Structure 1
Amino acid sequence: MQPWVYIVLVGIVAIVYALRLPARVKEDSDEKKSLKETEAALELYMADIEHENTELLQLVSSIKVQSQNNKTALQEEISGLREQVADLQKNLLLFDARLTAEEKGLLQLSAAFGSGAAAARSEDTGAVPQATQTEAAPVKQKPVSSIKQRYPRLFELHAQGKSIDSIAKTAGLQRGEVQLILQLANQEESV
């Protein structure tokens, strides 16, 4: 209920009370005093209600202003976080593109190194190409490759079944480097 409704109800009660009093022709001073006291009490009560209503309106308006300020601050923070997410997504895409480019470069380097190493071995040994060499000679036990001698810790971790990311982190190398080294070792073993 609204505060003015209370005031109207109190006024109606006072009027009904005044009308129900027996009308007396003679005026007693006691009756006048009690009527004046009742009117004064009602006026005081209405003033108190009006004061409380004013305080309540001020409190509601301050709460409204505070909630608006909080809403604005939260919207600004959300906007800032969205910008940060967008920047992070852009950086992630750039990083992925750069990583993919480096991995492609390492794979090309691996392929070039693998074919260059096979050609160098055949020149050093004066052997026939690989297909005829395997047909003519029985399979010999393969010596430990030079790449495995250079990176013993890497191959030890790989033999333990560790992931490429884990090996890269432990060895202090890039993921692409670890992949390249493992591929080179596989190529040396297959030669």
Structure 2
Amino acid sequence: MSPWIIIVILGACAIAYALIMPKKDKVQGPGQHLVQEMESTLEHYMAEIENDNDALIQRVAEMKGEAAAADQRMQTQLQELQQRLAELENRKMIEAEMHANAASIHNSSGLQAQALVDSVRFESAPEVAEANLQVVEPESPPVRDSIKERYADLFNLYAEGKSVDSIAKQTGIQRGEVQLILQLAEREES
């Protein structure tokens, strides 16, 4: 049972007891003394219950504050996680776009490579024509520069472990051309 119900019942019993008891003269001190003791005991008991209730209310308020603080921390963490998720999704989209661009550059680099081969043929056509016109003695065959000798700077950078993009920036040659030159050198070696 609730403490308040007990208090009400005890109070009702005390009132009933007081009404039932016949009024006595002031001579009967012990009965009056008993009533005063009971009243003081009830007052003391009610004061203790009130103190306990105040302590309970204070503890509930503390728990409510702690729950609010925990809720705030969780909300903050949730917001941080949502921001991280958004950043990761943005990175993923950017990487997907970069891969798509790289694929289109790779496709266009094939066209650039064909154009480079055509330009090399066009540039070397007069030399080939001259060589055909000149009579060369059979004892000394013409010395042809290898691709590695013509693009020594490019191959030095490649040997240092530089990326194709880095080589293209440093030499001023387009990325597709750098890739083509490296592929031609591999074919030349094999």
- Is the TM-score greater than 0.5? yes
- The one-letter code of the counterpart of 2:145 is P
How far apart in 1 are the matches of 2:183 and 2:96? 31
Count of aligned pairs between the two proteins: 162
Structure 2 match to 1:135: none
Runs of 5+ consecutive residues of structure 2 not aligned to the other structure = 15-21, 23-27, 133-140
Q: Give TM-score, length-normalised by structure 1.
A: 0.58
Compared with structure 1, are the counterparts of its residues 186 and 56 closer, same or farther at alpha carbon in structure 2 (3 Å cutoff)?
A: closer
Structure 2 match to 1:143: 145
- The one-letter code of the counterpart of 1:143 is D
Superimposed CA distance per residue, residues 52-82 of structure 1 (whole angstroms, 9 cap, x where no aligned partner): 1221222233233333433443333333333
Structure 2 match to 1:50: 53
Superimposed CA distance per residue, residues 95-151 of structure 1 (whole angstroms, 9 cap, x where no aligned partner): 2222222232223212221243135435412368xxxxxxxxxx9875343542242
- The one-letter code of the counterpart of 1:154 is L
CA contact (8 A) 2:167 2:178 kept: no
Q: Tell me which structure has the larger Cα radius of gyration.
A: 2
Structure 1 residue 78 and structure 2 residue 104: aligned? no
SS at match of 1:151: helix
CA contact (8 A) 1:110 1:183 kept: yes
Structure 1 residue 110 and structure 2 residue 113: aligned? yes
Percent identity over the alignment is 5
Q: Give TM-score, length-normalised by structure 2.
A: 0.59
Compared with structure 1, are the counterparts of its residues 172 and 49 closer, same or farther at alpha carbon in structure 2 (3 Å cutoff)?
A: farther
How far apart in 1 are the matches of 2:167 and 2:182? 16
Structure 1 residue 121 and structure 2 residue 119: aligned? no
How far apart in 2 are the matches of 1:153 and 1:55? 78
Structure 1 match to 2:188: 190
Structure 2 match to 1:133: none
Structure 1 residue 99 and structure 2 residue 105: aligned? no
- The one-letter code of the counterpart of 2:184 is Q
With a CA cutoff of 8 Å and minimum separation of 6, indicate the structure with the bigger relative contact order.
1
Q: Structure 1 residue 84: deviation in Å?
A: 2.7
SS at match of 1:184: helix
Runs of 5+ consecutive residues of structure 1 not aligned to the other structure = 19-24, 129-138
Structure 1 residue 167 and structure 2 residue 163: aligned? yes
CA contact (8 A) 1:153 1:171 kept: no
